[in-house]
Structure 1
């Protein structure tokens, strides 16, 4: 036995810290099954499975090397217990990730004279994924005001969650808002959801409300923006969004991360009238791409906000940079295209 200094206890050498936390904090397997009801046990082929991260092929060639766990295909019905525990309904994305949003509709945040809509930068989220090792992983991001940050931090820790990043997504703004990323794993998805609900309840995050059947119209030249970025955006509650996923396989502690868990570049445009927009979001990059992206953003007149990681154990190591700009939507899209082209990404399958 060796002493694991990070966990403060005795553990076999090489035991992942997250497994220690999960074993200490998470409840037994749901109804003794170790799986969500109705979930198939065979690991499906992932969309884009031929994409490989650097070093993955070498691990696969070595029988002694840990093999990556694959996410299992699930349906919305499989996650009903999670929805009940959270008091909110999400949806399965790309067949494998149950994603739930928690917009901070209670906040009135102003940055550089612009009132920030929740869909632009003020929506917490959680992404649940069931793996073929019978573990559920939840990753996500909580939006908290400064007065809530320490309380939310303590609640996450009390329920076995790791914080993997704490930073800002906006430049000068009132009130002060922070974003904290989290990660937890365990055999009981509902217990994970209960821990997350406790963290949400430590903040003033409001309860869920039904989304309008039809999103509001966009005062943007979306066709020209789509042409500039080479893909079609989505009207997400009045915010026009684009997403670009990493082409290579990304893992975290030997579990393959689908892009819907947050391993994406996101460009979000909030209409300001007359075709103008405020744009915010973040780029996902490997180390060798960082400087090219930062240079492209600045050359396009965009402000850079943060450079950081969202995870602790990802492979390849990924970095994220948040940005901001206000201009004609098409002008912004053309500037962002240069930065997108500096990364090995593509619209999700």
Structure 2
């Protein structure tokens, strides 16, 4: 082989090695800017070198909570947190759990969604708690500043609500008329399907299917979305259950909150099903047709998110 060919081959090998090394370096996640996280969230945090995670915490010591007739300190599970971990490149992953009272849940959920965060679960941890305490899990992947700002907006919204009234509210705004006399026809027109009636109430059920333990499960087994209306056409309440795939959850939540419908739980009902089905429970007050349009908008958002 000539000297020129040897030189050319060596250069190609060197360039290839450099490109591979550059690719590997680019794939390595960047170090966490912990100072920036603290500055934006307004909270001090701790760093775990073993897991490469930086976590900020905020104890709920602004309202006294009793569980099982015992005053519970924040250390026993009443502390909100947001944990940050490098993902890929300059991207960061955030996961958190937020301690909320009933009147905080939906305004805070809206604040999280509006800030580009995901809401992934909503549930209780205790029985016999006064005031009732809920836990909302949040998450996201992206720029560390954007995620930190989202966390800050969540905690700021909590502070705003408690500053307006120190004691948690125990009722949603609005009124539910009694006895019930819901007109089915306008609601059936909104949903495009017939519903059930009972003592002046109205209910529509939309079934889904999944596979579980080798069998198909559907509407009659509880895999469905439903909406039940009570009160009158002008002063109504809607409550129900919404069945969706994991990939549809955020679109449904955003649509429901945009319509002013309150989310009261997000969880699973089954294990081992395919595809995985999540459920959210909701409650809204207002004109019956407006509430029906809100639920229908969420159904449309669900359909659009699967395309």
Structures share fold, TM-score greater than 0.5: no
TM-score tier by shorter-chain length is 0.3 to 0.5
What TM-score do you get using the length of structure 2 for normalisation?
0.42
Work out which of the two has the higher radius of gyration on C-alpha atoms and give 1 or 2.
2
Which structure: greater helix fraction?
2
What TM-score do you get using the length of structure 1 for normalisation?
0.37
